[in-house]
Amino acid sequence: MSSASARSGWGPPATAINALIVATVATLAFSVTLRGADTARDIVGESQRRADAKSQRYEGLLQVFDRKGRITDKRWTFERLGSSGQSKAVLRFTAPPEVKGVALLVVNHPDRASDQWMWTPAIERERRIALQDRSTRFFGTDFSFEDLEERDVDQYDYSLAGEEVVDGAACWKIESTPKQSKSSQYTKAIVWIRKDNYALARIENFIKSDVVRRLQYSDIRNVQGIWTARQLEMSDLRVGSRTRLTLDRLEYNVNLNDADFTLLAIRRQ
Amino acid sequence: MRRASALALALVLVCARGTNSQTLTQRGFAEGVVFLFPQTTSNDATQVVGDGLVREEVFWKPAAWLRFAAGLDVRASSHDEVEPGWRFDFGDRGIQRPRLSARRLAGTLTHGGLNIDVGKQFIRWGKTDIVTPTDRFAPRDFLNVISSELLPVIGARASYQRGAEAFEGVWVPRLTPSRLPLLGQRWTSVPQEADTVPIVDAGSVFPTGAQAGARWSHVGAGFEYSLSFFHGFNHLPTIESAVAGVPPAQVLLRAYPAIRAYGADAALPTHWFTLKVEAEYFTLRPGDAPATPPGGEGLPPVLTDDYVLYGIQLERQAGEWVFIGGYIGDVVTENRSAIAFAPDRGLAKSIVGRASYTVDPRRNLAFEGVVHQNGQGLYAKFEYSESRGQHWRVTLSGVGIAGSDTDFIGQYHRNSNVSTTVRYSF
């Protein structure tokens, strides 16, 4: 595998929604044998390479299920420009009415944590999300701010932990740990990658030895040549709540303008 | 001007309704608030106050390079805080809140990294959260002093961002003042002498002339800062007073000093907390002789102190908790003994704090407090908020105020209250 493909930005193992930001899972063909890529890192790199697209847009439906089973719906639009690892993304809420217009700008970097700013129209101000804030839930969902960022495959160390079947699909089970230069709330993550199409099937995030968040991928479809999970469900195992994200109107390689991914731009409503 | 503004507002709202939903977004709410004050004050015996507000905002993007924003507020009050008539207000210069007003009406042109906004809009500068001294184009409605709302200004703003650098220039042809507490109501603290000498509100004298400002911001890797300059008028007035008439009355007039201000702010996120600092130096415009306000013959000239107002705050988020703590200070470099209504300076030499907790996606708790370092003024607020379904939110608040009559916070010690807010968002 070339170094270029290895660096093309991977939906980080420790992050869930990243999969939707980077478009995560992809393949060009079924039953591909990974030539010379039998290490855990190569598998992750190949998964990332197949998910690569120069831009992405979708409308998301977020359903937050609390411990008592009550459901809160939120909707957002999402646009990403640039290849993974060095991309910029804007996420803007469209529902419910009280959070309509709230926007998050994420500027990803290959060598360090992303920069993030949130625009809150009610106070007409943007606020930088600090590094220590990123373990916090994002707007009452089970995704944390860190889960919204995208990180490069080289920011982690990997080891193959075995093979397992997830939802009927044979998967590689890979353990990933953030490198020392990487700032993360998670100690490690276990990632399941499908053998047939290199799509992510599940991620479990650990703090010390405890699983704290689990992300399950489902409804995997081929969209413009990229195998993409249309439904992602993040469970916060500490509080017993979960958030389901359904992707609608998903498109890759759409024409987006770089000027729409700035602090100035997220003020525009 | 008012008729043209109303027509333009109606045009945007109507045109926008007929366009493709892809280019149109909308948000709005209807809100009712009831305040209960356990104590009366010497000038206000009303203990239950109800306010209502309906707000609708529409954002229309007919082309990639062009956007329009329009917003309308309709208000009601049980305590004469809203003008009785239905005149359409565009300038936000009234003593009371207008019943019907334009919240925003602006067009935005975009070309690459350049944005030009023209019209009635909100302009926010600064980084800190409790007092933002560099926020020079952000007047407020202080009818309820401790729960102020931002007011828009009418003008033009050009913003340009290239990489990590952003430049902003603002021109505002006329002053939008902050709205002060009403003289006959509890948020105006009336001195004892008022029992013998009646106080007469002579209104406001608005300065003529435009205001301008510029700001340069740098957004670096993990660090950001800004420098700003302002040339205009303070939106918070000095209070000119004189004894006049037979029988004698204390006549009060609001006047707005001509100032220049130089500001800086910075935010430094670290692994443990985020440090935010912000400071502004305010000075009477050099070369501008203090002037007697037009229409205020017999009153002294409009003066203001020269001073630095600054805020330092630390932010820390831990799990579902957000903590903010800091200090607000000022340094007076030239005291001209001006009497002013200045809530920002009134909070100077205070320790401030805020903690909020997200219980679950529907419920939030918040506590905030301000205490003057001399112990003469104390403010504390507790708030619980819960959403119901996709549209409803109920907020319960309790505010406690204590201190002495001579302290900016303490003077409102009889205004402790509880309130309930019900909002329907659409």
pLDDT at A72: 85
pLDDT at A30: 30
The answer to whether position A197 is within a domain reads no
Higher-scoring residue by pLDDT: B130, B91: B91
Contacts of B246 (CB under 8 A, 6+ apart): none
Distance, CA of B273 to chain centre: 27
Dihedral sign computed on CA atoms, order B206, B207, B208, B214:
negative
pLDDT at A22 over 80: no
B29 reaches A (C-beta below 8 A):
yes
Are A264 and B224 a contacting pair at CB < 8 A?
no
In this prediction, residue B2 has a pLDDT band, given cuts at 50, 70 and 90, of low
Q: Kindly give, in sequence order, each residue whose CB lies less than 8 Å from that of residue B73, ignoring residues fewer than 6 positions away.
A: B53, B54, B55, B98, B100, B101, B102, B103
- CA distances A264 to A138, A142, A148, Å, are 22, 28, 21
**Which of residues A26 and B368 earns the better pLDDT score?**
B368
> What pLDDT does A24 receive?
37
- Our measurement of the distance from residue B103's CA atom to the centroid of its chain's CA atoms, rounded to an integer in Å, reads 14
What secondary structure does DSSP assign to B248-283, as a single string?
TEEEEEEE--EEEEEEEEEEEE-SS-EEEEEEEEEE
Most confident segment among A114-118, B62-66, B275-279: B275-279
CATH of the domain at A76: 2.50.20.10
Beta strands in chain A (DSSP E): 55-65, 71-81, 88-95, 103-107, 115-120, 125-128, 156-166, 169-178, 188-194, 200-207, 210-223, 226-236, 241-252
Cα B369 to Cα B23: distance, rounded to the nearest angstrom: 43
Asked if residue A181 belongs to a domain, the reply is no
pLDDT mean across residues, chain B: 89
Element (H, E) at B29: strand B24-36
| A255 is a domain residue | yes
Q: Where does the pLDDT of residue B336 fall: very low under 50, low under 70, confident under 90, or very high at 90 and above?
A: confident
Residue B294, pLDDT score: 54
User: Could you tell me which residues of chain A have a Cβ less than 8 Å from any Cβ in chain B?
Assistant: 64, 66, 70, 72-73, 94-98, 100-101, 109, 112, 115, 121, 123-125, 128, 130-133, 135-137, 140-141, 183, 241, 257, 259, 262-264, 268-269
Residue B339 has pLDDT above 60, yes or no: yes
pLDDT confidence tier of residue A32, bands split at 50, 70 and 90: very low
Domains identified in chain A, total number: 1
β-strand B363-372 against B377-388: which pairing, if any?
A: antiparallel
CA distance B84 to B98: 8
* Contact yes or no for B315 and A130 at CB 8 A: yes
Banded pLDDT at A114 (limits 50, 70, 90)? confident
- A109 lies in some domain: yes
Lowest mean pLDDT among A189-193, B26-30, B105-109, B244-248: B244-248
Contact assessment for residue B379 and residue B352, using Cβ atoms and an 8 Å cutoff: no
pLDDT in tens, A200-223: 999 999 999 999 999 999 999 999
Contact predicate B119/B109, CB 8 Å: no
Q: Give A159→chain B minimum CA distance, Å.
A: 28
* Structure tokens given for B368: 């905030």
Length of chain A: 269
Average pLDDT (B302-321) is 89
- Which of B390, B394, B424 would you mutate first to test chain A, the one with the most A CBs within 10 A? B390
Residue A180's Cβ-count burial label (10 Å; 0-12, 13-18, 19+) is exposed
Question: Does residue B15 or residue B406 have the better pLDDT?
Answer: B406
**In this structure, what token pair is assigned to residue B158?**
């050009």
What's the confidence (pLDDT) of residue A151?
A: 66
The pLDDT, as a whole number, for residue A5 is 34
- Cis omega (within 30 of 0) for bond into A96: yes
Q: Choose between B189 and B125: higher pLDDT.
A: B125
Query: By the CB < 8 Å criterion, does B28 face chain A?
Result: yes
Domain extent, residue A91, equals 3-155+219-267
Note the pLDDT of residue B51.
97
Q: How far is A173 from chain B (nearest CA, A)?
A: 29
Residue A160 to chain B, least CA–CA distance (Å): 31
Instruction: Check whether A27 has a pLDDT greater than 80.
Output: no
Residue A31 has pLDDT above 50, yes or no: no
Work out the pLDDT band at B78, boundaries 50, 70, 90: very high
Q: What is the ipTM for the molecules in this complex? A: 0.84
**Does residue A34 carry a pLDDT above 90?**
no
B277-289: average pLDDT = 83
Which of A31-40, A122-131, B185-194 is predicted least confidently? Answer: A31-40
Tell me the count of A-B CB pairs closer than 8 A.
108
Highest-pLDDT range among A137-141, A245-249, B240-244, B358-362: A245-249
In a domain, A114, yes or no: yes
- Cβ A101 vs Cβ A121: under 8 Å: yes
Alpha carbon of B44: minimum distance to chain A alpha carbons (Å): 31
pLDDT at residue B292 greater than cutoff 60: no
CB contact under 8 A, A259 and B426: no
- What rounded mean pLDDT belongs to chain A? 82
- Given a cut of 80, whether residue B228 has pLDDT beyond it is yes
Which pLDDT band holds residue B235 (cuts at 50, 70, 90)? very high
Which member of A72, A123, A132 has the closest CB to residue B272?
A: A132
Nearest CA to A90 out of A7, A148, A144 is that of A148
Is the pLDDT assigned to residue A35 strictly greater than 60?
no
Pick the range with the lowest mean pLDDT from A9-13, A90-94, A143-147, B40-44.
A9-13
Both tokens assigned to A97: 């009415």
pLDDT of residue B362: 85
Question: Residue A21: is it exposed, middle or buried by C-beta count within 10 angstroms (0-12/13-18/19+)?
Answer: buried
CA–CA min distance B289, chain A (Å): 36
- Residue B208, pLDDT > 80, answer yes
CA closest to B266 among chain A residues = A128
Q: Where are the alpha helices (DSSP H) in chain A?
A: 3-6, 18-22, 40-50, 263-267
* pLDDT digits 0-9 by tens, B7-63: 666 666 665 555 554 588 999 999 999 999 999 998 899 999 999 999 999 999 999
Residues 6+ apart with CB under 8 A from A59: A75, A76, A77, A78, A94, A247, A248, A249
CB contact under 8 A, B390 and A97: yes
Q: Please check whether residue B391 touches A, CB under 8 A.
A: yes
Angstrom distances, CA of residue B33 to CA of B77, B98, B100: 10, 17, 18
Interchain pair A73, B390: CB under 8 A: yes
Q: Is the Cβ–Cβ distance between B113 and B13 less than 8 Å?
A: no
Nearest to A263 among B166, B271, B361 (CB): B166
Percentage of chain B lying above the pLDDT 70 cut:
90
Contacts of B229 (CB under 8 A, 6+ apart): B213, B214, B215, B260, B261, B262, B263
Do A140 and B317 make contact, defined as CB atoms within 8 angstroms? no
Q: Report yes or no: A189 and A213 within 8 Å, Cβ to Cβ.
A: no
Average pLDDT over residues B296-316: 82
Does B297 have pLDDT greater than 80? no
Mean pLDDT over residues B75-101, rounded?
95
